[in-house]
């Protein structure tokens, strides 16, 4: 039976779990002469059924598992297991594959499950003693043996070279494996450090995110409060602006309220300057304050003009021989706001209670081209100059003069001082 390249089925079953009595080996010699084929005879018991992958191996005495075989041969399946001849079997091992030392070996029958079913007595591979037998060899046998020895030496050298190559390859693989292990350790260390850094960075980002969320909530709450406060201030400022307009159009009795509103506006301006988010409101308040100052100056100028007119009226009345205090005072009403009433005079027109025929000997009277008020010839030039000044707008900061019809330019100019 020829040996194949396929390895036999083996197992790690210990000797205590083997069944050595199911296959019995017969005619086993105490020793076999090296260089010759060995025939192994064995008998199958009636309780054992051979299978296709069963094999017989030569094991060194002291083996532990079926993987420790030296060489093996596949068994031949009998044609009829029930015949008596089928129980007697044999297998032949070629001399080339037999052990070359003088250690003790034995035959073992192993089934396809890797379980030992039978074992022989130990034997050796050694030549017979010279005292026991006289060896007679021919020249042809000697040459055959020498040729066989040369082949064995050549094969041995090839095996040695192959072993050296395999050892070198193994050394290279070990070095490469060691290098790969170092690279793996380096990668693990780097990966671990990267994971730690990523984890720390993630924690910092989470902390920063929580902090930003808290700040966002605080800012949102403050913005809501500030928005409410701005609405309140805007409503209060609007109310005060209306009151200031009423006060500017009123008389001197409203001066104290105007001063109070100016103080409140100053307080509002001080409050708004500490709130960066309400810069627009602060700017509006500053503009209103400037407008209030302009209106206050305009009011003071009108009061001065009114005083001047009162003195002029007194002089004219004394010139006419009338007493100013004896004239009845007529308060301006809505019904008296016609073309003959001067809207710029606080105390009304003093000439409205005097008939034109009561002063026939007066100097020629000249009228203002704007308000149609009458003036004496010698007073017309001074009054006209004062009236022209009243029709101009003076900047309260740089004293620059603008015509009354250029009110928008004047307001833009005043606003530029606040920037």
Q: What is the 3-state secondary structure of the chain?
A: CCCCCCCCCCCCCCHHHCCCECEEEECCCCEECCCCCEEEEEEECCCCCCCCCCEEEEEECCCCCHHHEEEEEECCCCCCCCCCHHHEEEEEECHHHCCCCCCEEEEEEECCCCCEEEECCCEEECCCCCCCCCCCCCHHHHHHHHHHHHHHHHHHHHHHHHHHHHHHHHHHHHHHHHHHHHHHHHHHHHHHHHHHHHHHHHHHHHHHHHHHHHHHHHHHHHHHHHHHHHHHHHHHHHHHHHHHHHHHHCCHHHHHHHHHHHHHHHHHHHHHHCCHHHHHHHHHHHHHHHHHHHHHHHHHHHHHHHHHHHHHHHHHHHHHCCCCCCCCCCCCCHHHCCCCCCCCCCCCCCCCCCCHHHCCCCCCEEECCCCCCEEEHHHHHHHHHHHHHHCEEECCCCCCEEEHHHHHHHHHHHHHHHC
Greatest extent of the chain over all pairs of C-alpha atoms, in Å: 194
Q: Which residue has the tokens 């308040």?
A: 285
Give me 49's structure tokens.
Answer: 């059924």
Report the C-alpha gap between 336 and 138 in whole angstroms. 171
Q: pLDDT at position 276, please? A: 60
DSSP-assigned beta bridge partners for residue 60:
105
Answer for the pair 276, 230: CB distance below 8 angstroms, yes or no: no
Q: Residue 326 pLDDT > 80, yes or no?
A: no
The verdict on pTM exceeding 0.85 is no
- If phi over 0 gives left and psi between -120 and 50 gives alpha, with beta otherwise, what is residue 399? left
What's the rounded mean pLDDT across residues 59-82? 89
CA–CA separation, 226 vs 278, rounded Å?
A: 8
Q: What angle do CA 323, 325, 327 make, to 5 degrees?
A: 80
Per-range mean pLDDT, top range of 240-244, 245-249, 378-382: 240-244
Residue of higher predicted confidence among 99 and 359: 99
Q: What is the mean pLDDT of residues 374-384?
A: 53
The torsion of the CA quartet 57, 62, 64, 70, rounded to 10 degrees, works out to: -30
CA distance 66 to 116: 8
Confidence of residue 339 (pLDDT cuts 50, 70, 90): very low
**Distance separating alpha carbons of residues 399 and 374, to the nearest angstrom:** 30
* CA–CA distance, 13 with 164 (Å, rounded to integer): 34
pLDDT digits (tens, 9 = 90+) for 179-200: 898 888 888 888 888 888 888 8
Contact of 375 with 365, CB cutoff 8 Å: yes
Q: What is the mean pLDDT of the chain?
A: 77
Which is nearest to 92 in space by CA: 42, 30, 45, 166?
42
Token reading at 67: 């993987």
For 257-299, how does the pLDDT look when each residue is reduced to its tens digit (9 = 90+)?
Answer: 778 888 877 777 676 666 665 666 667 777 888 888 888 888 8
- pLDDT exceeds 50 at position 337: no
- pLDDT band at 360; cut points 50, 70, 90: very low
Phi/psi region, residue 229 (left: phi>0; alpha: psi -120 to 50; beta: rest), is alpha
Residue 369 Ramachandran class (φ > 0 left, ψ -120 to 50 alpha, else beta): alpha
């Amino acid at each position: 039976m020829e040996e194949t390249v396929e390895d036999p089925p083996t197992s790690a079953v210990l000797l205590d779990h083997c069944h050595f009595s199911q296959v019995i080996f017969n005619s086993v010699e105490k020793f076999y002469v090296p260089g010759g084929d060995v025939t192994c005879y064995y008998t199958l018991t009636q309780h054992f059924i051979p299978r296709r992958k069963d094999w017989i191996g030569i094991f060194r005495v002291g083996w532990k598992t079926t993987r420790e075989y030296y060489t093996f041969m596949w068994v031949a399946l009998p044609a009829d297991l029930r015949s008596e001849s089928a129980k007697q079997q044999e297998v032949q091992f070629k001399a080339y594959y037999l052990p070359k030392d003088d250690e003790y070996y034995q035959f073992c029958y192993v089934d396809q499950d890797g379980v030992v079913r039978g074992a022989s007595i130990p034997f050796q591979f050694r030549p017979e003693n010279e005292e026991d037998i006289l060896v007679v060899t021919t020249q042809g046998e000697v040459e055959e043996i020498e040729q066989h020895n040369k082949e064995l030496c050549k094969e041995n050298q090839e095996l040695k070279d192959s072993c050296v190559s395999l050892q070198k390859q193994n050394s290279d693989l070990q070095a490469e494996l060691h290098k790969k292990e170092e690279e793996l350790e380096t990668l693990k260390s780097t990966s671990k450090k990267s994971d730690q850094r990523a984890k720390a960075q993630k924690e910092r980002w989470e902390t920063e995110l929580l902090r930003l969320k808290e700040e966002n909530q605080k800012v949102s709450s403050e913005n809501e409060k500030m928005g409410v406060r701005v609405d309140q201030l805007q409503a209060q400022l609007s109310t005060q602006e209306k009151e200031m307009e009423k006060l500017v159009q009123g008389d001197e009795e409203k001066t104290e309220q105007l001063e109070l509103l100016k103080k409140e506006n100053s307080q509002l301006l001080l409050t708004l300057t500490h709130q960066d988010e309400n810069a627009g409101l602060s700017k509006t308040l500053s503009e209103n304050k400037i407008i209030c100052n302009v209106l206050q100056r305009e009011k003071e100028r009108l009061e001065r003009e009114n005083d001047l007119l009162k003195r002029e009226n007194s002089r004219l009345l004394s010139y006419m021989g009338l007493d100013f205090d004896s004239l009845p005072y007529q308060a301006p009403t809505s019904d008296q706001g016609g073309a003959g009433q001067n809207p710029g005079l606080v105390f009304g027109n003093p000439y409205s209670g005097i008939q034109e025929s009561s002063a026939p000997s007066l100097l020629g009277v000249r009228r203002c081209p704007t308000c149609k008020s009458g003036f004496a010839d010698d007073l017309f030039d001074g009054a006209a100059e004062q009236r022209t000044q009243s029709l101009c707008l003076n900047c309260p900061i740089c004293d620059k003069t603008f015509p009354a019809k250029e009110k928008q330019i004047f307001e833009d100019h005043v606003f530029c001082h606040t920037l």
